[in-house]
Amino acid sequence: MKEKKIVIFDLWETLIFGTRDSAISIFYNNITGEKISPEQLKNCMLIKESEPRLFLEKFLNIVTPSNISSVLLGLKNPRSPRYKKIVRDFKNAISNDSQEIRWLPGAIELLELLKEKYRLVLVSNLWAYQKKYLFKNFNLNEYFDRCLFSCNLGINKDQILRDIQKILQIDAGNAVYVGRSYEYDIIPAINANIRALRLKAVNNIISPAKIKSTIEEELNGQTANSEKQIVTGQKQNRILIVIPPFYKLLGSHNNRINLSASYLSAYLSARGYFNKIYHCDSELKETYATRYQIVFNSINFYESMETENSYKEFENYYQENAFDIVFVTCGDILNPSFDSGNWDSTQKIAKIVRKVNSKAYLIAIGPEVGIESKDFDLLVYGEVENLTDKIIKQRVRGKARGTLLSENDLGNLPLFDLKNIVTEISPQSLDTIIWSRGCKGLCDFCRVAQINQGKIRYKPIESVLKEIRLRQNLLNLTNFYLVDANFTANKKLSIEFCRRLKKEFPSITWRTESRFDTLDKELLVEMKKSGCTHIKLGLENALHEKHQVKTKKIDLANASKWIGEIKKIGIHPVIYLMLGGKWFTHEQYEQMYKNTKNLNADAYTTSLFTPYPGTPAGLSYKEWRKRRFTGSHLDIRLIDFWKIPIDIIDKFFSLELEKGREDKNIREFI
């Protein structure tokens, strides 16, 4: 039996959210170029007719100064060429508006916790045309005993609260009102002599157990244990890890699996959790756009987000396979020194999940995770593995920071089960192997430095060899990319690794990365003997060491010497270059280009300095959003930001295309 006590909820921004403006406001502005005044809005909210044509007639009679409005006349007269179009456009506006509305994370769980014990009542100002969509899409009758809407009663929300004792035949002393806004929720409730609680939904995230505890304390005078997270219903813990589109929005694609996603999958499997990976950015083909072409394509990045078909393909998959827990990546935290992810794309995946399955528990992971949650229940910063048990068992909400996995834990990680990938992926794209996490460097522009703080953690060599063996046996791979920000940092250990590699896999070849200040001739010789064909070295700024970051002062003469030594040993040196970071003059860029050519490396990779939010060299989140940066080192917007001359851009990318990168004989480029 439910108690006589009542919990009254506001609706908008308290339990559901969507577009900022209503469908009618957008529609009216589109056809007239004008905005509806606040007073007119109040009056129009009381219109009871929900059928679009009848609603529009009432609406236009209120907002137009006279009955000779051309829009109203066109709406009423079947002979008008606008007669059908006006209603059709309004219906489209309603449809678009309704598709954007969804539950706030945690809202359903909160209602389920309360509905068995209390009577739940919904009070809201509501456009009449929205009613059928809300009842159809949100099953309001399942959660609420009564829904009191302004359009039904002909009075606004403030008046409904003042009359609620009469409407519900209750004692206001047995009720508590829950809302988000101080001005529009709390004050009207207090003025109606109803106790009020302001919902503390930080960043759109509701903490059901804590709010339930607060409501019980207010209604019953008892304090519940709000620290204990309550999970309602039987949770299957079927987990989906989603890698959103990124390169597809830049006119290419990315077949390589996100390493943090694969390790999370392996970690979950070891603990008995059923999980799959959906890779939105992959295709079966191994043909890619050149990096220079990606620069040009990046201008259309956000427009491509509206048309890219892989979002719809994911939605179709998720509708048929509604996993109850969904991790969505935003960049690869284990390999964040490359283009890695876009927060808008990640949020779009989350919106799809929330609309398909409003009860889903959504977690964002990766180095480019933003600060506004919207559809996410939890934002995780740092490595996620150590948090997974707590996340899954307790449904943690808000924000959390993961700790770095220890070397012992790295050693206990199982092999990633390739069968956990549910999207099509080419065998060749599974050539990435990771031996260590982190780098000794502390470059202020780098996510590796930000996350690892100069620490390097190694997996056992035997564990790495098992991964190579698995891919060789299952996929016939013989060429591998050892993802490592600083392969040569530990000479003794790296020599041991190379000798083991040569002994067990004498026919394979591989590529890796490192820093100039950790190179060693003896180690390079061992690398060559074990099959290393390319080593990628970060120079970043080729002007002069005084222009380089404090922890990466590279003398150009010394760099040139090492490039010569590496070539003599038989390994191809590939140099990472970065334009921008400071506002250099044209003359300085010309000198930078001259210095680069004089290095005479076998290949070059040109990138644009990306001031990632959260890094010491980064912008604020506010300025990042304002400039609409994509999160790519190949974003054309960065050329304007750093004022890089066009001819300099042409020169550096022409050098990259002329020399070719380390993958020129492995992948095809268009």
284-315: per-residue pLDDT in tens?
A: 888 899 999 999 999 999 999 999 999 999 99
pLDDT of residue 622: 92
| pLDDT exceeds 90 at position 76 | no
Half-sphere exposure of 664 (CA within 13 A, CB side): 15
| Residue 232 banded pLDDT, cuts 50, 70, 90 | very low
pLDDT of residue 66: 58
Lowest mean pLDDT among 220-234, 313-327, 456-470, 605-619: 220-234
Mean pLDDT to the nearest integer, 101-127: 94
- Which tokens in the block code for residue 604? 């070059």
pLDDT of residue 32: 80
Rounded CA-CA distance 361/376 in Å is 8
| pLDDT exceeds 50 at position 65 | yes
Phi, psi of 227 (to 5 degrees): -75, -25
Mean pLDDT to the nearest integer, 446-468: 91
- The rounded percent of the chain whose pLDDT value lies above 90 is 69
| pLDDT exceeds 70 at position 666 | no
Neighbour-count burial of 501, counting CB atoms closer than 10 A to its CB (0-12 exposed, 13-18 middle, 19+ buried): buried
Mean pLDDT to the nearest integer, 413-429: 89
pLDDT of residue 234: 44
Nearest to 240 by CA among 361, 345, 131, 347: 361
pLDDT of residue 547: 79
Mean pLDDT to the nearest integer, 402-425: 90
Q: In angstroms, what CA-CA distances link 332 with 230, 244, 260? A: 31, 11, 6
Mean pLDDT to the nearest integer, 386-399: 93
Lowest mean pLDDT among 72-76, 522-526, 569-573, 637-641: 72-76
Cα end-to-end span (Å), the chain? 69
Q: What is the SS3 assignment for 445?
A: coil
Which position has the higher pLDDT, 426 or 189? 189
For residue 77, the 8-state DSSP code is -
- Cα 219 to the chain's mean position, in Å? 39
pLDDT of residue 660: 65
Query: 382 near 403, Cβ under 8 Å?
Result: yes
Which position has the higher pLDDT, 428 or 566? 566
Angle, vertex CA 221, rays to CA 220 and CA 227, nearest 5: 95
pLDDT tens digits for range 469-510 = 999 999 999 999 999 989 999 999 999 999 999 999 999 999
Rounded CA-CA distance 527/488 in Å is 10
Asked whether the CA dihedral 288, 292, 293, 299 is positive or negative, the reply is positive
| Residue 10 banded pLDDT, cuts 50, 70, 90 | very high
Q: What is the mean pLDDT of the chain?
A: 90
| pLDDT exceeds 80 at position 69 | no
Spatial CB neighbours of 54, under 8 Å, sequence gap ≥ 6: none
Phi, psi of 66 (to 5 degrees): -150, 170
Rounded CA-CA distance 346/385 in Å is 20
Query: 219 near 120, Cβ under 8 Å?
Result: no
The partner residues of 401 in beta bridges, in order of sequence, read 381
| Residue 227 banded pLDDT, cuts 50, 70, 90 | very low
pLDDT of residue 2: 60
Asked whether the CA dihedral 497, 503, 504, 505 is positive or negative, the reply is positive
- The rounded percent of the chain whose pLDDT value lies above 70 is 94
pLDDT of residue 417: 87
| Residue 541 banded pLDDT, cuts 50, 70, 90 | confident
pLDDT of residue 548: 74
User: What one-character-per-residue DSSP string does 136-156 give?
Assistant: HHH-HHHH-SEEEEHHHHTS-
Lowest mean pLDDT among 14-28, 208-222, 435-449, 545-559: 545-559
Residue 592: which region, alpha, beta or left (left: phi > 0; alpha: psi -120 to 50)?
alpha
- Which tokens in the block code for residue 93? 């506006």
Asked whether the CA dihedral 334, 336, 337, 340 is positive or negative, the reply is positive
Lowest mean pLDDT among 22-26, 80-84, 144-148, 250-254: 80-84
Angle, vertex CA 379, rays to CA 373 and CA 380, nearest 5: 165
Rounded CA-CA distance 435/433 in Å is 7
| pLDDT exceeds 50 at position 224 | no
- Which tokens in the block code for residue 61? 């009679």
| pLDDT exceeds 90 at position 186 | yes
| Residue 664 banded pLDDT, cuts 50, 70, 90 | low
Query: 487 near 511, Cβ under 8 Å?
Result: no
Spatial CB neighbours of 489, under 8 Å, sequence gap ≥ 6: 439, 440, 456, 514, 515, 518
Neighbour-count burial of 118, counting CB atoms closer than 10 A to its CB (0-12 exposed, 13-18 middle, 19+ buried): buried
Spatial CB neighbours of 618, under 8 Å, sequence gap ≥ 6: 445, 611, 612, 624
pLDDT tens digits for range 32-59 = 888 888 888 889 999 999 999 899 889 8
pLDDT of residue 226: 42
For residue 386, the 8-state DSSP code is G
Query: 500 near 465, Cβ under 8 Å?
Result: yes
Neighbour-count burial of 79, counting CB atoms closer than 10 A to its CB (0-12 exposed, 13-18 middle, 19+ buried): exposed
